[in-house]
Structure 1
Amino acid sequence: MIAGVTRRLRGEAERANERRVLVLAGDRDRAVDAAYDAVESLGVADGSVSIVSTREGFRFEEHRPRNADELLGRTRDAVVLDCHERFVPNALGRAVGAVDGGGLLILLTPALDDWPAIRDRFDDSLAVPPYGVDDVTGRFRERLVSTLRTHPGIAVVALGDDEADDDVIERDGLTGSAAGERDEAGDRDPPSAPPDATFPATAYRACLTADQARALRAFEALAEPGSAVVVESDRGRGKSSAAGLAAGALALGGADVLVTAPAFRNAAEVFTRARELIETEAETGGDGEGVGRKGDDRDDDAGGDDRDLRTPAGGRVRFLSPAAAAAAAAEADAAIVDEAAALPVRLLEGFLDAPAVAFCTTVHGYEGAGRGFSVRFRERLLDSQFAVRDVRLDEPIRYARNDPVEAWASRALLLDARPAVDAAVADAAVDDAAYRALDPDDLLADETLLAEAFGLLVAAHYRTEPNDLARLLDAPNLVARALVADGRVVAVALLAREGGLDAATRRGMYEGERVRGNMVPDVLTSQLRDEAAAAPRGLRTVRIATHHALRDAGFGSRLLDEVHAEFGGDRPGDEEGLDYFSVGYGTTPRLLRFWMRAGYRIVHLSTTRNDASGEYSAIMLRPETDAGGDLLDRHAVAFRDRERDGLSDAHRDVDPDVVRGALRACSGPVSVDLTDTEWRSVVGASVGPGMYDTAPGAFRDLALAALIEGGELEERQERLLVRKVLQGRPWEEVADELDFVSTSACMRAIGDAYVPIVERYGTEFALAERERFISD
């Protein structure tokens, strides 16, 4: 029976150039046997089948659920996803994306009626201490099961309890689809190069759709400085392939092409296509007859030299991590940023220093939200020196446009989630918006509410993924709150309960054990060596997002005020309240100001940059009780003391405006205790003939105090104190960065900056010493 269902699904999928899903629900061992029967009936080679499972020993290509990213960029006739023991939503998204047109996704699941109530190893990861796995709900799987039972193109077979029991076909998955919208890639004529094309004809013949050829044509502009290209598409449209062909063509012409993406695996297709083009041109001498996409027997786990391709003309295609690529962009001839929507705007701005640049982004998908990229970065790109060309790819490469499995995956994983349209919220007023809890049961019952709330989170953050949808619906430590205007979600906050951990757990954290979900207590305990830090109860803002049409209108601040009012202060009855609110985020001056205005104060700045964002991460607290106040006080003092020396070490390259904002957000009391000798040096440098170099420690203590308390100095003077006094940069570098006419002018400016500082912090001795020079 399984073979018959599979052949019928496969036949319709092939005729329509679409994909289908086969659900084998029931006992795991029976499901594995049935999956083998299904694959055998497909008549495909074992090498074209992958299985994602916690088990081993299959004859197919194997992947673990947490490593399903290895499927990105792959094309498979069938993918088997074992949903027993550890069902990871991200793995479902990767598995769907790897199935070729005419292929099958085979899901091995528990009985569908039972599945939402079953807890597995993924649920263990949602059971954040002090919660247990019994506190995790099954709403995500309840919703998923509903889509499996109702969406077109999905066959469901309920397996018997043993071989004596008959299997039951609940759905046959057939849609009645006719032939697909386009022929198979191998049966069509490849696009031809435009008459005046500058890229090799080989590159155009390697394109699989007219959309790809149009994108490749736009990429030709990268050969000229001052050009920018933006390529947008849904998943599976071939934007990375087109970028790879363009990179290879540019390198064949001698260009140095810098490629980046959130991780190298996201750019693997770029390098595969670039390598194919370079090798084909070398083999054919530029003729390139017969070039096409290579088969799936290639090694997709690119590494080593595959990250730095060279051409006979002296060109190259090389990969760097996002932060490193942004720093090196000006040195390359062209930069290509793949999955650009997955990178923060602050990091993307670094690529505006490149002579020519391309940004490729997924409009809907877990790699990043194209809408967020468009809204937040497009204006800055248009205001730059670049002439911008836009291309959108709509035609799928590997399956027909109306493929039902693509529509199902988008709905089940909310890959197409988006905020309300601009017109629906344009007239929203912050004072009229209603504050409401986004109860998971309400989200489960209202698809529009769920899509708008999750869509805001996707658009606002570069790492929102299907696993986060499961956390939103099922994790016991998470709560969500929103502002709603005229029935539309205009702002949303995702909040995590942390702390309140017992002594044994705290001791384990202090000794190096990792405790899931308690990000702030973990950092304060394990990194900053405070064993008592996980005892107070906190509520961390995991993410907060405002509709892009309403930014800077006060909605985010209003939402935080409501959260503080609901969860802070005295609690009714015996309910245990919070000791503090917290937040951790990639630090920018603007965000520092936002959180400081909301009453948060800094306790930590990471010592390394985030690889994807290129930013240092800050942790800030807002105390609500004495216990929360004590936690803030001791860590504010520790932060103050760390930064005195850390700014000339691990934080030597932190942006001076980030340093200024971080120090201003420090609530640690200022302490200045200089000797008379040190005061002589400071006073002498400020109003007399003394020199800064004679007492650098004294100057550092005073600079730290002045920046924490603020008020006396101009912004340029504060930046000068950061760069020279606290970060110890060379005089010439500081003078150049801060636009002083000379190094000597920069040195005089240091003295001038200390005049009001001496006035504020000087002892009687210091003020008397100053009078000696002023009176003279």
Structure 2
Amino acid sequence: MSSTGGTRRLLDPRLRILIENNVKKNHRSFIVLVGDRSRDRIPGLYYLLSHARDKLNSRRSVLWCYKKDLGFSSHRKKREQKAKQNQKLGKPNDDEFDLFINSADVRYTYYKETEKILGQTFEMCILQDFEAITPNLLARTIETVEGGGLVILMLKTMNSLKQLYSMTMDVHSRYRSTTGGSVVARFNERFILSLASCSDCLILDDELNVLPISRGKDIVPLDEDEMESAEGRTVEKELNDLKSSVEDKLSSDLVKLTKTVDQAQALLTFISTLQEKTLTSTVTLTAARGRGKSAALGLAVASAIAHGYSNIFITSPSPENLKTFWAFVGDGLKALGYVINVDYDAMESVSPEVGKGVIVRVNVWKTHRQTIQWIQPQDAHVLGQAELVIIDEAAAIPLPLVKNLLGPYLVFMASTINGYEGTGRSLSLKLVQQLRENTRPTISKAPAADESAALTSLSGTHSKKGGGALSGVASKARTLKEIQLHVPIRYSSGDQVEKWLNGLLCLDASSLPRSTIYSGSPKDCQLFSVSRDTLFSYHPASELFLQRMIALYVASHYKNQPNDLQLMSDAPQHRLFVLLPPIADDENVLPDPIAVVQVVMEGLISKEAILDSLSRGLRAGGDMIPWLVSQQFQENKFAQLSGARVIRIAVHPDYTRMGFGARTLEALNAFYSGEYLNLDEVPQSNPSVSFEKAAKVSKNANLYEESLGLRDVTTMPPLLQRLTEIQPPSLDYLGVSYGLTPSLLKFWKRAGYIPLYVRQTPSDLTGEFTCVMLRGIGTGEGPGKSPYVDWLTEFAKDFRARFISLLSYRFREFGSVLGLQVLEAANGGTRDPDGHELESKELAVLISSFDIKRLESYANNMLDYHVILDLLPTLAGLYFKRRLIAPKSESDATADGSARERTVKLSSLQRAMLLAMGLQRKTIEEAGEELSLQPNQVLAEFAKIIKKMCAVLQLIQRVAVVSDMPQIGKLSVDDVGPDGQLERMDEELEEAAKEVRRDLRAQYAADEEMADGPVVNNDKKARQREFINSLDLSQYAIGDSIDLSSAQSQVSKLTQGTNGTNLSSIISVKSNAAPIKRKAQAMEEEATDKNKKTRRGGGKKIKK
């Protein structure tokens, strides 16, 4: 019976039968209430649940989740004060809702704080404010309800449930961008239709009347014979047999507290690891929710206390997540004979930040002092004396923090891996895989476990540089044991609410079906566009295809969470594509996707919005790459371009590393380049009905008469559409953002993508650095072949220079090989570096002549490497900026003189070594450890690097000397020595002597003409010719042992001092030839005197 305004009405019997049946089966019931007065129906449902459990007098735990406003006061004292006031005024206090609040143990929590309820169990869960609910919140809250419990969802008054199809959810604000596009609530349609298919769900109005969508459900009472199935009796017998087979009393006392065979085997594995006492073991316990992970950890800690472990630490996202753990620690200690307040006590927190009344420490003193201490996940530095560390709900802790918690002690780790927390797959795919690689084969002393426990001991080799996962771990290799729990404990197997939730959120998609093997070439596969209107229509064929797509995501991508499903369905700018093997047109079988790619359209932002955001240092939501590039490069035109960002690309595990991923990206680029478009195949009319029209509510809609169901298949667009039938949007680039790893960088580099940004802080979730890469669309000679465009080249150059400078800061954490891969990928976006050669003037500023002498001496094994260590950053910067290029010389005239050919040639090992020591400023030992080389091997390669670089620097100097000495004649590089000194001086001086002869002949000829006028006697010419021929040129002779050092020094000083301008060509040379009296000088003086006398005697007198 139900009461409304003092009148009592008969309830639909199916509601009572549903709750009673599920209490008997230990399953959960799901009730949806539609109407503004839904809150008033909560007490009646609570009392139905209490009556079914035969515990009318007990206080039941209730979880009430809401957005902001609860709608009533949850303060108990205020409610009591109001009741007293009503009593004084003579008003009755028979409000059912007040009685419910006072009699139940209600836990109120905001949706944004639901992380605190992980690991806890409630008998009833109430969800209000439907617009604030997300898939993550659904999974997190519903799974806290135990078997026989009740899940209640409250909706507001509406004329039709179709109004939910167009309801604006709070999360939709994140999907909008400046380019517009309406959000379509496809997920809500699928959610409502899925509720109709859940056999343990009833949709009622606020008068508890069953609505038409649930009216067809036939719910009848269970027979007593159905209560205990043969399977249940078999499982119970196996558990009893296992409990009785344990001979050790300590283990036996604890195993008796377990509920399933899985849990008992997991506990025995924990106990056997504790008995080994090697402190080098890691045990991972993974399972879905409600399988008893926290209980098994609590019993294992009780066993550790009995085995004498003194320093035990437990960590979790919040201490409130450990209620189940602490409860089973107490149960385990009690089973082992420990008495609270006599042998141990529990300390509760008094800090409001941690949570008042929450247990954070247990002290045991029965045999000696032992402690069980809770710590925050970021407090790994306090584990110096730890002997056992427990990590509960590891999937909800960021991966870098989990890695830091591993060390030289026993580690027990429990985690939910089916995507509820978002990092579950990250844990299973990354951390556990790394642990496998860092373990060695061992002979396990644990008792043999059933296949359901999946106990394995895997092998590998320990590495000191395990990416942080095993930082601080002793050099001993560790043993890894993996346990999985499959049988639920919180509720019985076959729970329909769990089945519904797993189907709605694709949580069981990790069990990837075996695909039909395709053995053909990736080039024969075709890329198809997926219609989201059809994919999320809840049609059986669409559901099957959706499950297969999500299965590829789960198997290939580690960042999966239920919220991704709503993003994929509702976001307006997202597009889905699948790569399928060749299929015939008349084939009716739904093909298995080989690869799935999800992209989002970005860009086309107005110039005003860009300038406004850049001026204020802000950025709008969405359009990640346009805003990021605009901020990083302060370029406002880039955001006006149109692009597409690849969010995810997942390849079936059977086809990885076979070229199918590259084929998917190639086809995607070809599609957006317009290569696939065939106007003859584009349909002229579209007979399908859009989701917006199908979701429109008629004016005469009635909640009690409507019939919701699947949309007509003929009105829906085709699920898969060929790209030749679609007009592609006009794009300028394709981009991607991902967590930087060597394998992913190699994949995107091969696809023609160029890095433009690497975030300087690692992700809190995975510890990886975000990398953004771009490629152009449809540029180059071939259609869609070249990723280079002018603006991309300039961005790549700027990124390369910034990345080189940042390698000695936070990017010092990168391995040298990874840093080298990033630089090579950035160089792929720049053209040949002709015209950017290092000039001698710039070289003189960066490296002095003394520095070059040091480099030359080190290259000749005359100095220690510490002497030139200060020059490494400069040399490495010049090399990786591709400035260290040998200059052109006359000998290169007939050869290929491109800058790329004249660049210093270093091997891959030498480049990695130069980057590590020069740019990252790592020591010889650090570089050798990264490259698996001994220090002497590193020094040997290092000397080769310096020798090659020194040769280029010397050549640059030699060419500079040639170009700066034009008066000495035409010189070539071959005429200059390694230190800038001139060679073949004899030939040059001989040429100078010939010039002197010519000058003297011309000078004396001019003197004679001036003295004698235009007529010149033959005897005078004969005397002049005799005078010239009699000149002694031995003064210009230079012996073999001559000292040229002073002359060379003079040339160098003049060259450096004047930069080659107004340079005197006169040099001083010391000679061992004896000085002689020059006959020519005497003859010249004699002839001059005669001419003077002749002019005095024969000349006319001139009057002044």
**TM-score normalised to structure 2 length:** 0.60
Deviation, structure 1 residue 519: 2.2
Distance, in Å, in 2 between the alignment partners of 1:632 and 1:566 is 21
1:417 matched to which residue of 2?
509
**2:187 paired with 1:140:** yes
Q: Which runs of 5+ in 1 are unaligned?
A: none
Cα deviations by residue, 1:643-675 (Å, 9 ceiling, x for unpaired): 232111122222222211111111365666452
Which of 203, 218, 221 is 2:269 aligned to?
Answer: 218
Distance 1:198 1:169 in 2: 58
Question: How far does the alpha carbon of each residue in 1:599-624 deviate from its partner, in whole angstroms, 9 at most, with x for none?
Answer: 01111111112223122111111122
1:621-636 paired onto structure 2 within 5 Å: 621-624=774-777, 629=789, 631-636=791-796
Pick one of 150, 155, 165 that aligns with 1:104.
Answer: 150
1:568 maps to a residue whose letter is S
Change in CA separation of 1:770 and 1:227 when aligned onto 2, cut-off 3 Å: farther
Match of 1:539 in 2: 644
Are positions 1:50 and 2:64 aligned together?
yes
Q: 1:714 to 1:147 in 2, by over 3 A?
A: same
The correspondence for 2:200, drawn from 121, 146, 153, is: 153
- Corresponding residue for residue 234 of structure 1: 288
More deviation, 15-24/610-619 = 610-619
Q: How does 1:653-732 map to 2 (within 5 A)?
A: 653-667=813-827, 673=838, 674-676=842-844, 678=847, 680=849, 681=851, 684-685=854-855, 687-688=859-860, 689=862, 691-705=867-881, 712-732=905-925
2:284 matches 1:92: no
Closer/same/farther in 2, CA of residues 592 and 230 from structure 1, 3 Å limit:
same
Equivalent pair of 2:119/2:323 in contact (CA under 8 Å) = no
Partner of 1:30: 37
Q: How is 1:172-571 mapped onto 2 (pairs within 5 angstroms)?
A: 174=219, 176-177=221-222, 178-179=226-227, 195=246, 204=255, 206-223=257-274, 224=276, 225=278, 227-246=281-300, 249-250=303-304, 253-254=308-309, 264-265=317-318, 269=321, 271-272=322-323, 275-276=326-327, 287=338, 313=369, 360-362=414-416, 364-367=418-421, 380=437, 382-384=458-460, 388-418=480-510, 420-422=512-514, 424-425=516-517, 427=519, 429-444=521-536, 445=539, 446-485=542-581, 487-510=591-614, 511-526=616-631, 529-568=634-673
The offset of 1:470, in angstroms, is 1.3
| Distance of 1:623 and 1:428 partners within structure 2 | 30
Residue 207 of structure 1 and its aligned partner are, at CA, apart by 3.5
Partner of 1:122: 171
Q: Is the contact between residue 757 and residue 771 of structure 2 (CA under 8 Å) also seen in structure 1?
A: yes
Between 1:360-369 and 1:79-88, the stretch displaced more is 360-369
Distance between the aligned counterparts of 1:428 and 1:347, measured in 2?
44
Question: What is the one-letter code of the residue matched to 2:747?
Answer: F
Q: Is the 8 A contact 1:367 1:465 kept in 2?
A: yes
Paired residue secondary structure (1:584):
strand
Closer, same or farther: CA 118–57 of 1 in aligned 2, 3 Å: closer
User: Does the alignment pair 1:753 with 2:945?
Assistant: yes
Q: What is the alpha-carbon distance in structure 2 between the residues aligned to residue 348 and residue 328 of structure 1?
A: 14
* 1-structure distance, mates of 2:642, 2:952: 39
| Aligned mates of 2:552, 2:756 — CA distance in 1 | 28
Partner of 2:682: none
Q: Give me the whole-angstrom Cα distance separating, in 2, the residues matched to 1:422 and 1:95.
A: 33
- How far residue 156 of structure 1 moved from its aligned partner, in angstroms, is 0.9
1:698–1:298 Cα change, 3 Å: closer
User: 1:74 is aligned with what amino acid?
Assistant: Q
Q: Deviations over 1:334-379 (max 9, x none)?
A: 6666667789999999999766555645453433698897777667
**Contact map agreement 2:295 2:324 (CA 8 A) in 1:** yes
Per the alignment, do residues 568 and 712 of structure 1 end up closer, same or farther by CA in structure 2, a change over 3 Å counting?
Answer: same
1:494-553 Cα distance to aligned partner (Å, 9 max, x none) = 111122212343245432444223222233344554444422222111111111122111
**Relative to structure 1, is the Cα distance of residues 36 and 121 closer, same or farther in structure 2, using a 3 angstrom cutoff?**
farther
Q: C-alpha distance in 2, partners of 1:39/1:672?
A: 81
In 1, Cα distance between equivalents of 2:407 and 2:169: 48
Distance 1:341 1:439, change over 3 A: farther
Larger Rg: 2
| Aligned equivalents of 1:233, 1:250: Cα separation in 2 | 22
> Per the alignment, do residues 285 and 47 of structure 1 end up closer, same or farther by CA in structure 2, a change over 3 Å counting?
closer
Secondary structure of the 1:114 match is helix
Moved more, 35-44 or 147-156: 35-44
Q: Is the 8 A contact 2:400 2:765 kept in 1?
A: no
TM-score (norm 1): 0.83
1:50-69 → structure 2 map (5 Å cutoff): 50-58=64-72, 59=74, 60-69=106-115
Question: Helix, strand or coil for the counterpart of 1:48?
Answer: strand
Identical-residue share of aligned pairs (%): 24
Segment of structure 1 superposing worse, 537-546 or 697-706: 697-706
Deviations 1:292-330 (A, max 9, x none): xx9xx99999579978877765666666759x97x9999
Q: 1:414: Cα distance to partner?
A: 1.2
What one-letter code is carried by the residue in structure 2 that aligns with 1:751? A
How far off is 1:56 after superposition?
A: 2.5
Select the residue among 747, 751, 757 that pairs with 1:598: 751
**In structure 2, what is the Cα distance between the partners aligned to 1:526 and 1:402?**
53
| 8 Å contact from structure 2 (residues 954, 979) kept in 1 | no
Code of the residue aligned with 1:653 in structure 2: it is: E
Q: Secondary structure at the match of 2:527?
A: strand
Q: Return the letter of the residue paired with 1:764.
A: I
Structure 2 vs 1, CA of residues 649 and 365 (structure 1 numbering), >3 Å: closer, same or farther?
A: closer
Quick one: distance in 2 between partners of 1:373 and 1:741? 34
Q: Residue 256 of structure 1 contacts residue 316 of structure 1 at CA under 8 Å; is this kept in 2?
A: yes
Q: 2:24 is matched with which residue: 15, 20, 40?
A: 15
Q: After alignment, is 530-539 or 583-592 more displaced?
A: 530-539
- Residue type of the partner of 1:713? L
Matched position secondary structure for 1:13:
helix
Q: State the shift of 1:631 in Å.
A: 4.8
Query: Which residue is 1:765 aligned to?
Result: 957
TM-fit CA distance, 1:406: 0.5
Contact 2:30 2:201 in 1 (8 A): yes
> In 1, are the aligned partners of 2:904 and 2:949 still within 8 Å (CA)?
no
How far apart are 1:285 and its partner, in Å?
8.4
8 Å contact from structure 1 (residues 417, 458) kept in 2 = yes
Query: Which of 102, 126, 130 is the matching residue for 1:80?
Result: 126
**Shift of residue 144 of structure 1?**
1.2
Larger RCO: 1 or 2 (CA < 8 Å, sep 6+): 1
Is contact 2:522-2:663 (8 Å) kept? yes
Offset at 1:711? 8.7
Provide structure 2 residue ranges, at least 5 long, that are not aligned to the other structure: 4-10, 51-57, 75-105, 440-457, 461-476, 584-590, 680-726, 780-786, 885-899, 960-972, 981-1104
